[in-house]
Amino acid sequence: MQDGSARPEGQCGPLFDTAITRLFGIRHPVLAGGLMWLADAPYVAAVVRGGGMGFITSRSSPDLPAFEAQLTRCRDLSGGLPFGVNLSTSRHTAVPLMDYLDAALAAGVRHFETAGRAPADDLIRVIRDSGAIVIHKVPTIRHALTAERLGVHAVALVGMECGGHPGINTDMPATLGGAIAASRLRIPFAIGGGIGTGGQILAALAVGADAVVIGTRFLAGAEVSAHPAFKARMVAAGEEDSAVAFAGKTALGGAWRVLDNATLREVRRREAAGLAEHADFADLLAGSLSRDACYRDGDVERGMLSMGASACFIDRVEPIGAIIARLMGEAAAARARLARLAVGQSTVSLG
C-alpha cells in the first residue's frame, strides 16, 4: 500500500499550498502527465520523490502482467510515496480499461489521470467508491465543464503549446484557458502547455490554477528511459524545433506537436500532397517507431516524438528531482521579484 511514509528527496520545501497539492498530498503544485512509452516506474517514482505527482501510462504496457510489474517497481522506487496511473479513455489498449483500473487499485494506487474522451460513469464511480482521486485532462473549457459534471475531482486544462496532442481543434493558449477556467469551474484545475520555468508556475497560480502539468521539460531527466542521443537532442533543442502536424484533421487525431525531424517533414510533405486519411500515414504513426527507433536505439530523426517549445529551457541531463527543485527555486525568485515590484499603499498617489 502507498502510505506516504517515506521522506521525499531534495532540499526544496513547500512554497505553495493549493487545492491540488492538498488533493494529491504533494509538496509542489507540479503534475507530470503520462508520456507514452516514457512515463514508466523510474520516471514516475522520480517525480513523486521530487515532490510532484506522476502517472504511469498504462497503455505503454503490452499486457496486464507487464503493467502490474510497473506498479510493483514504482512502489519500490518511490519508497512508499503515493504515485498515480494514467488511463486512456479514447484509445485502443491492449488490456481493457477497467482491468488496468482494477490492477492499479489492487496495488494500492489511489491517484488517477484520465485522458481522452469524457470518462464513463462506471469508471468515475469505481474510482470514487474506492476512495481514490481522479483528474481528467481536457483541451477546452467546454470539456472541463463536462468532466466537472461527471464528478471528477479536478481537471488538467492543456493549451496549444503542449507537446503531444492538445485536442482536435483547439488553439487556446494555456494561460488564457486558465484565466477563463478560474471564473467558470468549481473544482480545482491545473494548466499545462509550454511550461518550463518556475516563473510560469507562479503565473499559472496567479491566473487561478492550482497546479501545472509538465511533460517536455522533463524529457532529459536522468531517470527517463530513453537513449542518451534523444536526451542530447532535447538539450540542444530550441523554441523553433517544435512543430504541429494534423491540425484540424479529425481522422488523424487532430493536432500533434512534435520534434521537427525527418518523420515530421515527411508527414508535412504528404499533407501538402492532399493526403488526409490515417492509412496514408500509418507507416509514420506507428508508436513502435518512436519507441524502438528513437527511445531505444537513439535515431532522433525517426518517429513522431511529442515535444513542446519549452524544450528550449532544457540545458542539461539531470535527475528529475533536481529539475523540480530548480523550477521551485525559480518560482520563489519570481515571487520575490513581484514582491519587490509591489507598490506600498502608503506611497501611492492618486494626484
Residue 74: name the closest of 225, 291, 216, 290 by CA. Answer: 225
Average pLDDT value for residue range 71-82: 96
Whether the per-residue pLDDT at 245 is higher than 70: the answer is: yes
pLDDT of residue 6: 40
The answer on pLDDT for 309 being more than 60 is yes
In the chain, pLDDT over 70 holds for what percent of residues? Answer: 93
With a cut of 50, say whether residue 351 has pLDDT above it: no
Average pLDDT, stretch 221-240?
98
Q: Which domains does the chain have, with CATH numbers?
A: 19-218 (3.20.20.70), 228-309 (no CATH)
336 pLDDT exceeds 90? yes
Mean of the pLDDT values across residues 268-289?
A: 92
Question: Is residue 5 over pLDDT 60?
Answer: no
Check whether 348 has a pLDDT greater than 70: no
**Res 167 pLDDT > 60:** yes
CA distance 177 to 181: 6
Collapse the DSSP code of 52 into the 3-class scheme (helix H, G, I; strand E, B; otherwise coil) and give the result.
coil
271: burial class by Cβ within 10 Å (0-12, 13-18, 19+)? middle
Mean pLDDT of 318-336: 98
Report DSSP letters for 174-187, one per residue: HHHHHHHHHHH-SS
List the 255-259 sheet strands across, edge first: 164-167, 255-259, 242-245
> Cell 503515493, residue?
82
Confidence of residue 251 (pLDDT cuts 50, 70, 90): low
The arithmetic mean of pLDDT across residues 281-306, rounded, is 95
**249 within 8 A of 234, measured Cβ to Cβ:** no
Q: Grid cell 512534435 — which residue?
A: 258
Residue type, 224: V
Examine the pLDDT at 105 and tell me if it is beyond 60.
yes
121 exposed, middle or buried (CB, 10 Å; 0-12, 13-18, 19+)? exposed
The residue count of the chain comes to 351
pLDDT tops 60 at residue 8: no
Band of residue 30 on the pLDDT scale cut at 50, 70, 90: very high
* Lowest-confidence pick of 216-220, 253-257, 297-301: 253-257
Neighbours of 65 (CB within 10 A): 11
50-59, 252-261, 273-282: which is most confident: 50-59
In the predicted model, is pLDDT for residue 349 greater than 90?
A: no
Q: Could you tell me which residue, 351 or 231, shows the higher pLDDT?
A: 231
Q: Tell me the pLDDT of the chain averaged across its residues.
A: 92
Cell 502527465 belongs to which residue?
33
Residues 6 or more apart whose CB falls under 8 angstroms from that of 35 comprise 43, 57, 164, 215, 218, 219, 306
pLDDT for position 7: 41
User: Are 54 and 244 a contacting pair, CB within 8 Å?
Assistant: no
- Whether 93 shows a pLDDT value over 80: the answer reads no
- Could you tell me the three cell numbers for 178? 486558465
Mean pLDDT for 287-295 is: 93
**With 50 as the cut, is the pLDDT of residue 270 above it?**
yes
Average the pLDDT over 126-135 and give the result.
97
Task: Let me know: does 177 contact 159? Beta carbons within 8 Å.
Answer: yes
4 has pLDDT over 70: no
Q: What is the mean pLDDT of residues 31-59?
A: 95
In the block, residue with C-alpha cell 491540425: 247
226-259 burial code (b ≥16 CB/10 A, e <16): bbeebbebbeebeeebbbebbbebeebbbbbbbb
Question: Which residue shows C-alpha cell 498530498?
Answer: 25
Predicted confidence at residue 350, as pLDDT, reads 46
Mean pLDDT of 230-242: 98
Residue 316, pLDDT above cutoff 90: yes
Rounded to an integer, the average pLDDT of 255-283 is 94
